[in-house]
């Protein structure tokens, strides 16, 4: 069975190679080939899953060593895979949601002349993401890590003729690179500390290193996770990333890639467990992002950007849970999976709405769509109920567990974390209801698009609605399945460990409180957007609203702090290089030139002056000779 792991990664990579190098003759059928490759890896993943289920809990780790990658003296990096319960969970999510979104894209991208290339990029993403979660060492993980970054860059900028898309793509890549510096330094620290960066050698021995080193490694891993998972302070790229086609937003920027940071933290759990300071920072980052994303999500009128704010916020939940240590790891991953279902479903629904509305993204120009797009409405609605934590849907189970884990932290911290997360839950209910109401309810506020075409909303084709239905099904049922007999907890426990803190409140009390704040949030949104008509042009709003619309001024800060100073710095350096460094060189050359100009004047061309210098020279020579002899 082990040999299937390599195939799992290879299938989508092969798809990418064929589609990208195949040229135009593959235009007609290429997308089906891409879909087939994604499906092949899903089938392989399912086969491996059942193989794992057949084994006992402790033996559910498969290894496949392909070849030695970079052997230089003591530095040994291998291309080798490790499949355990944690990576299996990710593999199923990635290939499952990935295949669905491939199918959706067949319909969504139907009229795009570069559809073949789109599928090539999607396949490339799948391959890189699988590499990321299957690698058995950090350096190979890094390859997948940057590979998904590349795929994300290519897909965000897929409509490259739009300058905004190209800028967003570059921004995403560069911000991610800042995170990658963190990952690089973490790997370097591991190498100098443990002489290796393989999971099998670093993680079991983590507590043998000093706490300072481990804190360093932990913080650097967190920096990497912040970049990839759009956590504060490296969150700024995610909103702009919505420039990409919607299936991309669903797959990469909601369900899978952005959760890679959570994977990294959970995978490196042993390091964080031994470095409490680093854990505290993870929790703080998670808590701050949770609120940050939610606030931004409340203010955006662009449906995809509102959902992007929500994604940040939800990953904040996961990050916070991961920072709690063994109390939270399992629930971070559980929320990650359920979030994968409902958020992908929400994005696909948003894509379906845009598809029917001439690619309009401003929710103020939607309204009353529920009768025109019944399937989209129902699937979107189910995912909506799941994300706000409607009782007994998937979000209810996973989010409550995280909130409960937060309280379990104990003491004042526990109350603060629990309170923050409950506030986040209220905000979630508020902004999601807002989206729901502005899009599907109320009166029609449709506007003609830039070319003057009136929108004619219609339901999307089957290739698009089927994935939405499947995902909605998942959003509804996943919670039940995971909760039944605590199956998910038992499945992951051997890898991540599990502890029960002592919570001051009971499970039931948390559920009631969460449901209560959810109702509050829904009610708040209904009062503002359901009871009275929504203006087509956004009102000026309060100071906070305006700031939130500008992503809480993060871009303005980045612009002033980095872009502006950076551009002054480079311009200054270009000037200095020209004037100073080159100036010294040219100055030396010029002074030699000047000197030889002077010397040249001695050569005046008059025979008698030459004769004088000859005689003078001879006289000097004679004099010197005589003097030397005298001495």
Query: Which residues, numbered 532-591, are part of the site for other proteins (CB under 8 A)?
Result: 566, 569-571, 573-574, 577, 581-582, 585, 589
Nearer to other proteins, 13 or 327 (CB): 13
Bridge partners, residue 78, by sequence: 68
Cβ pair 383, 471 in contact under 8 A: yes
User: Could you say whether residue 486 binds other proteins (CB under 8 A)?
Assistant: no
User: Could you say whether residue 414 binds other proteins (CB under 8 A)?
Assistant: no
Nearer to other proteins, 456 or 571 (CB): 571
Position among 181, 462, 553, 624 found at the interface with other proteins (CB under 8 A): 181
User: Could you say whether residue 11 binds other proteins (CB under 8 A)?
Assistant: no
Task: List the one residue out of 533, 518, 542, 549 whose CA is nearest residue 298.
Answer: 549
**Residue 128 CB burial class (10 angstroms; 0-12, 13-18, ≥19):** buried
Helix (H/G/I), strand (E/B), else coil: 362: strand
Nearer to other proteins, 198 or 510 (CB): 198
**Residue 284 CB burial class (10 angstroms; 0-12, 13-18, ≥19):** middle
Nearer to other proteins, 61 or 196 (CB): 196
Work out how close the CB of 86 gets to other proteins at its nearest, in angstroms, rounded to a whole number.
22
Work out how close the CB of 610 gets to other proteins at its nearest, in angstroms, rounded to a whole number.
7
User: Could you say whether residue 527 binds other proteins (CB under 8 A)?
Assistant: no
Work out how close the CB of 57 gets to other proteins at its nearest, in angstroms, rounded to a whole number.
25
Nearer to other proteins, 68 or 506 (CB): 68
Could you say which residues in the range 246-305 bind other proteins, by CB under 8 A? none
Could you say which residues in the range 16-45 bind other proteins, by CB under 8 A? 20
Work out how close the CB of 571 gets to other proteins at its nearest, in angstroms, rounded to a whole number.
6
Work out how close the CB of 143 gets to other proteins at its nearest, in angstroms, rounded to a whole number.
4
Work out how close the CB of 145 gets to other proteins at its nearest, in angstroms, rounded to a whole number.
8
Could you say which residues in the range 131-160 bind other proteins, by CB under 8 A? 139, 142-143, 145-147, 150, 153, 157, 160
Q: How far apart are the C-alpha atoms of 385 and 614, rounded to whole Å?
A: 106
For helices 329-356 and 303-323, give the axis angle rounded to 10 degrees: 170
Nearer to other proteins, 106 or 172 (CB): 172
User: Could you say whether residue 416 binds other proteins (CB under 8 A)?
Assistant: no
Nearer to other proteins, 118 or 372 (CB): 118
Helix (H/G/I), strand (E/B), else coil: 480: helix
Work out how close the CB of 581 gets to other proteins at its nearest, in angstroms, rounded to a whole number.
5
Cβ pair 522, 429 in contact under 8 A: yes
DSSP 199-258: HHHHSTTGGGS-HHHHHHHHHHHHHHHHHHHT-TTS-THHHHGGGS-HHHHHIIIIISGG
**List of residues 6+ apart from 128 with CB closer than 8 A:** 143, 144, 147, 148, 150, 151
Position among 170, 370, 549, 559 found at the interface with other proteins (CB under 8 A): 170
Q: How far apart are the C-alpha atoms of 619 and 323, rounded to whole Å?
A: 92
Could you tell me which stretch among 168-176, 269-277, 361-369, 419-427 binds other proteins (CB under 8 A)? Answer: 168-176
Taking the CA atoms of the chain, what radius of gyration do you get in angstroms? 31
Cβ pair 109, 34 in contact under 8 A: no
Could you say which residues in the range 70-99 bind other proteins, by CB under 8 A? 70-75, 79
- The gap from C-alpha 392 to its chain's centroid, in whole angstroms, comes to 29
Q: How far apart are the C-alpha atoms of 382 and 388, rounded to whole Å?
A: 10
Could you say which residues in the range 310-349 bind other proteins, by CB under 8 A? none
Position among 89, 213, 376, 408 found at the interface with other proteins (CB under 8 A): 213
Could you say which residues in the range 603-622 bind other proteins, by CB under 8 A? 603-608, 610-612, 615
Cβ pair 142, 187 in contact under 8 A: yes
And the tokens for 126? 């799948």
Cβ pair 215, 277 in contact under 8 A: yes
Work out how close the CB of 440 gets to other proteins at its nearest, in angstroms, rounded to a whole number.
35
Nearer to other proteins, 40 or 139 (CB): 139
Position among 180, 273, 302, 360 found at the interface with other proteins (CB under 8 A): 180
Cβ pair 340, 97 in contact under 8 A: yes
Task: List the one residue out of 392, 357, 387, 362 whose CA is nearest residue 372.
Answer: 357
User: Could you say whether residue 462 binds other proteins (CB under 8 A)?
Assistant: no
Q: How far apart are the C-alpha atoms of 616 and 618, rounded to whole Å?
A: 5
C-alpha pair distances (Å), 101 with each of 15, 31, 142, 340, 345:
15, 12, 25, 12, 10
Cβ pair 108, 246 in contact under 8 A: yes
Q: How far apart are the C-alpha atoms of 59 and 160, rounded to whole Å?
A: 48
Work out how close the CB of 174 gets to other proteins at its nearest, in angstroms, rounded to a whole number.
5
Could you tell me which stretch among 185-193, 432-440, 471-479, 552-560 binds other proteins (CB under 8 A)? Answer: 185-193
Could you tell me which stretch among 294-302, 310-318, 410-418, 598-606 binds other proteins (CB under 8 A)? Answer: 598-606
Nearer to other proteins, 516 or 563 (CB): 563
Size of the site for other proteins (CB under 8 A): 73
Nearer to other proteins, 69 or 526 (CB): 69
Could you tell me which stretch among 81-89, 171-179, 252-260, 409-417 binds other proteins (CB under 8 A)? Answer: 171-179
Cα of first residue to Cα of last residue in the chain, in angstroms, is 97
User: Could you say whether residue 68 binds other proteins (CB under 8 A)?
Assistant: yes
Nearer to other proteins, 7 or 378 (CB): 7
Nearer to other proteins, 29 or 188 (CB): 188
Alpha helices in 388-410 (DSSP H): 394-408
Cβ pair 375, 459 in contact under 8 A: yes
Nearer to other proteins, 275 or 464 (CB): 275
Bridge partners, residue 65, by sequence: 80
Work out how close the CB of 604 gets to other proteins at its nearest, in angstroms, rounded to a whole number.
6
User: Could you say whether residue 185 binds other proteins (CB under 8 A)?
Assistant: yes
Position among 69, 505, 512, 523 found at the interface with other proteins (CB under 8 A): 69
Nearer to other proteins, 54 or 207 (CB): 207
**Residue 198 CB burial class (10 angstroms; 0-12, 13-18, ≥19):** buried
User: Could you say whether residue 177 binds other proteins (CB under 8 A)?
Assistant: yes
Nearer to other proteins, 29 or 563 (CB): 563
Work out how close the CB of 195 gets to other proteins at its nearest, in angstroms, rounded to a whole number.
3
């Amino acid at each position: 069975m082990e040999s299937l792991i390599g195939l799992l990664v290879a299938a989508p990579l092969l798809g990418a190679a064929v589609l990208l190098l195949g040229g135009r003759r593959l235009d007609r059928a290429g997308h089906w080939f891409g879909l087939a490759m994604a499906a092949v890896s899903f089938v392989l993943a399912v086969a491996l899953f059942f193989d794992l289920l057949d084994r006992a809990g402790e033996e559910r780790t498969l290894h496949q060593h392909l070849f030695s990658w970079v052997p230089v003296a003591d530095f040994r990096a291998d291309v080798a895979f490790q499949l355990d319960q944690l990576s299996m969970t990710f593999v199923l999510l990635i290939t499952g949601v990935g295949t669905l979104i491939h199918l959706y894209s067949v319909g969504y991208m139907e009229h795009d002349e570069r559809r073949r290339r789109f599928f090539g990029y999607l396949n490339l993403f799948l391959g890189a993401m699988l590499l990321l979660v299957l690698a058995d060492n950090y350096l190979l993980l890094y390859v997948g890590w940057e590979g998904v970054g590349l795929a994300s860059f290519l897909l965000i900028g897929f409509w490259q003729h739009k300058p905004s898309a190209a800028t967003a793509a570059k921004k995403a890549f560069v911000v991610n690179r800042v995170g990658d510096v963190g990952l690089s330094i973490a790997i370097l620290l591991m190498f100098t500390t443990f002489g290796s960066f393989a999971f099998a050698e670093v993680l079991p021995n983590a507590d043998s290193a000093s706490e300072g080193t481990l804190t360093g490694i932990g913080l650097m891993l967190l920096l990497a996770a912040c970049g990839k998972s759009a956590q504060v302070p490296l969150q700024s790229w995610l909103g702009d990333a919505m420039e990409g086609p919607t299936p991309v937003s669903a797959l990469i920027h909601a369900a899978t890639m952005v959760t890679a940071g959570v994977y990294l933290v959970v995978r490196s759990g042993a390091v964080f467990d031994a470095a409490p300071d680093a854990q505290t920072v993870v929790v703080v980052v998670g808590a701050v992002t949770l609120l940050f994303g939610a606030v931004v999500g409340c203010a955006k009128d662009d449906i995809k950007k509102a959902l992007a704010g929500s994604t940040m916020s939800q990953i904040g939940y996961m990050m916070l849970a991961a920072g709690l240590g063994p109390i939270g790891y399992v629930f971070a991953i559980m929320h990650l999976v359920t979030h994968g279902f409902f958020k992908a479903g929400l994005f696909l629904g948003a894509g379906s709405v845009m598809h029917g509305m001439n690619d309009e993204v401003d929710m103020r120009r939607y309204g009353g769509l529920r009768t025109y797009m019944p399937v989209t409405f129902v699937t979107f609605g189910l995912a909506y109920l799941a994300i706000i934590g409607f009782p007994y849907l998937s979000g209810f189970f996973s989010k409550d567990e995280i909130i409960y884990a937060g309280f379990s932290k104990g003491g004042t911290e526990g109350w603060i974390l629990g309170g923050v997360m409950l506030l986040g839950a209220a905000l979630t209910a508020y902004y999601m209801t807002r989206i729901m109401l502005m899009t599907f309810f109320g009166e029609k506020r449709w506007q003609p698009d830039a070319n003057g075409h009136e929108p004619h909303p219609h339901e999307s084709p089957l290739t698009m609605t089927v994935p939405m239905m499947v995902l909605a099904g998942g959003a509804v049922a996943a919670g039940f399945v995971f909760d039944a007999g605590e199956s998910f907890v038992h499945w992951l426990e051997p890898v991540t460990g599990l502890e029960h803190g002592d919570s001051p409140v009971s499970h039931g009390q948390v559920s009631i409180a969460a449901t209560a704040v959810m109702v509050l949030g829904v009610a708040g949104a209904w009062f503002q957007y359901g009871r009275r008509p929504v203006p087509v042009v956004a009102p000026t709003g309060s100071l906070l609203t305006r700031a939130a619309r500008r992503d809480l001024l993060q871009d303005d800060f980045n612009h002033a702090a980095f872009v502006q100073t950076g551009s002054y710095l480079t311009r200054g350096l270009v000037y200095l290089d020209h004037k100073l460094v080159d100036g010294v060189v040219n100055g030396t050359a010029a002074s030699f030139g000047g000197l030889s100009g002077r010397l040249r004047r001695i050569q005046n061309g008059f025979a008698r002056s030459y004769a004088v210098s000859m005689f003078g020279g001879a006289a000097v020579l004679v004099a010197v000779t005589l003097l030397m002899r005298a001495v």
